Amino acid sequence: MANLVGIAGSLRKGSLTAALRRAAAALAPAGTVVDVASIAGIPVYDGDVDRDAFPEAVVALGARIAAADGLLLVTPEYNNSIPGGLKNAIDWLSRPVPATRQAKNHVPRPFSEKPVAILGASIGPGGTRLAQAAWLPVFRMLGARLWSGKVLYLASATQAFDAEGKLVDEKARKTLEELMAGFAAFAKPGA
């Protein structure tokens, strides 16, 4: 059906967003593959660094996103907004290589016309509504095709997962399964 890449916006070992990303991969419809990617190793954006060569972690992630049919962005919500580390990764991936210079390596504008679904998990009662809303203008500016179907703002997420990080909240599982089916169809080549 579709080949997706999934990124969690938290690097913490017991990350709820990483658990949600794993659940999304497990609940993807038959024929859909979710490549689990990470923002680990991406340094803070520095224009002096990107003048010469992009960091390998950025190039590798950019290539995976560019090769995928769609991006599944699983975000936490920090201080009612976007998490800095995830935004930093997206900023790196959005940097063009000007025609006036030739960097040793670069990222091929991976978001242009790329189907993107945004979902998230939070320990708070509001879920990730504000973070997800804050991501919308970012991806619109980058030219992505934003999924506007089923949404998931998983609130009080510590109660939705068991001790092993498995999604046990049945309502959330059903919503996630519907989201994944819809997004896979949306991201399918030719859709």
Domain parsing of the chain, residue ranges: 3-187
Higher per-residue pLDDT: 96 or 115: 115
pLDDT (tens digit per residue) in 121-150: 999 999 999 999 999 999 999 999 999 999
Using the 8-state DSSP alphabet, how is residue 158 labeled? G
pLDDT of residue 100 exceeding 50, the answer is no
CATH of 3-187, one of 3.40.50.1820, 3.40.50.360, 3.40.605.10, 3.40.50.300: 3.40.50.360
